[in-house]
Chains A and B, each alone.
Chain A
């Protein structure tokens, strides 16, 4: 089967144009990364609703707060290397506390930004944003779901953090109507182990499921694109059905999706949880596939963890 690759930021830039067309309240704020992330396309089409504030992330968030306070729906976009890292205070105090309708979309998240190295490989953002009250945290798996989730976020009142990765990724969703904010999506049914993933690791989870089926392990695959509020109901149901969970994310294993899933099952239906992610270390320069292999963000690691859980029952 031919694997179709598509870029999340292309999908984001395209859906922004559509949202800008259908709702004049949509404005875009950027910080000198607009050409790279392609939000400049919005600026070309709607110059009076596009504000480039230069390399000033704190100011960008404060301005977004002011725009939202006057009824706009600001999409604030730059690299995940700087958001929320350089502006957590502004996000917390000026956006989340007053529950403003600001959509923060960060691109180039995680290790797969590649050769830029550790300074630009943000692996803490999901955990940091999860810890902020009122914040929604979304990590889409592919281009079609990015498009859909961004559009839904635009129509849902309140602050959002949406995290995209840089590489083009295999398309998982045929029709974007398959995803719904707050609802984890069962991509494949299974009975022996549940694999809960988000972002580019969903595709790795799908590949792991194939490898596992060859050795007689039936894995259920869940795309938990909404990391917060977590769809605990679905996660618990999968835990009850399979008795063991593996989580997979392009983030530090501390505080992200793995943390959220472990918290959810621990409170209501404890099962063993094995977390796949960056193991509390900084990254380095390298091509994205090399980095994923070196830091254990692969279908192979997911397969190994799932098999280990099943074997030790």
Chain B
């Protein structure tokens, strides 16, 4: 039933536009993190254009759902999504990482729609817990979503937070792990093996779901299941590919933090938007 109402066409279109923005803004900035931005596109699109209750005209609306980008280096995907949603003009995206711009290398509070200044890894889930706790205290029904990188699971604080959320029965909290398998120095399973990821979260008493992070139906279905779970937080392990959508970037750790040149991007974007 739910599936039929998912506007897949619109979501696909948004995803293509956002991918193009990411490539263009990173190329313009000559630095930034395209790989981990491209892997998270469908996750953000599912949230901002389907699942989340939010209003770009009222970024401070107390009853809004909250999205915390814990993997703050993926700022380009957040800024592009916020721009497509109407929080800021898309023309501003080219100011990313430039002096006097509010679009910093990592997201901060100057940008409407940014809920938390992610950047130093490991903090976002804790902050999301704080927001979810406040929601419980105030008896509000908003939901809190936190997107974590898989490399971020190396951080001890992630597991401090993983222990705390089930203690407080935060069923209004959904963590999503962008499981793209690559961190800055290489493959996650070589740098710091983290499998079995699902079992780890299960052992911490989370409701665990695994999805293909590029399949809108799967992502949205998991988000719905998370919402229906009572007394437990949900973690969605979204299997993705770093650099998704750009053949030479996919699975290449070099594109964790490297910008492609403008000419290449121009050709890529042309193909992308035509498809």
- Tell yes or no: B128 within 8 A of A by CB: yes
**Contact in complex: B131, A67 (CB < 8 Å):** yes
Which residues in window 126-182 of B have CB below 8 A to A? 126-138, 156-157, 160-161, 163-164, 168
Question: A119 at the A/B interface (Cβ < 8 Å)?
Answer: no
A98 adjacent to B131 (CB under 8 Å): no
* B109 / chain A contacts, CB cutoff of 8 Å: 98-99
- Complex Cα spacing A42 to B24, Å: 52
Given A63-B130, A65-B116, A67-B131, the answer on whether A54 and B157 have CB atoms closer than 8 Å is no
Chain A 36-62 residues near chain B, CB threshold 8 A: 48-49, 51, 53-54, 56, 58-62
A126 located at the interface, meaning its Cβ lies under 8 Å from any Cβ of chain B in the complex: no
Is A89 in contact with B120, judged by CB distance below 8 angstroms?
A: yes
Interface size on B, residues (CB 8 A): 33
Q: Does B62 contact A (CB under 8 A)?
A: yes
- Interface segment out of the listed A68-76, A148-156, A161-169, A232-240: A68-76
Contacts of B126 in A (CB 8 A): 58-63, 65-66, 90, 94
A97 at the interface (CB under 8 A from B): yes
Q: Is the CB of A98 within 8 A of B123?
A: no
Main secondary structure of the interface of B (DSSP, over half): helix
| Measured CA separation A92–B123 after assembly (Å) | 11
A93 contacts partner chain B, Cβ-Cβ < 8 Å: yes
30 contacts between A and B (CB under 8 A): A27-B134, A48-B137, A49-B137, A56-B157, A58-B123, A58-B126, A58-B156, A58-B157, A59-B126, A59-B129, A59-B157, A60-B126, A62-B124, A62-B127, A62-B157, A65-B126, A65-B127, A66-B116, A67-B131, A69-B115, A69-B130, A70-B138, A72-B130, A72-B137, A89-B120, A90-B126, A93-B120, A94-B117, A94-B120, A94-B127
> Which residues does B use to contact A, with CB under 8 Å?
62, 68, 108-109, 115-117, 119-120, 122-138, 156-157, 160-161, 163-164, 168
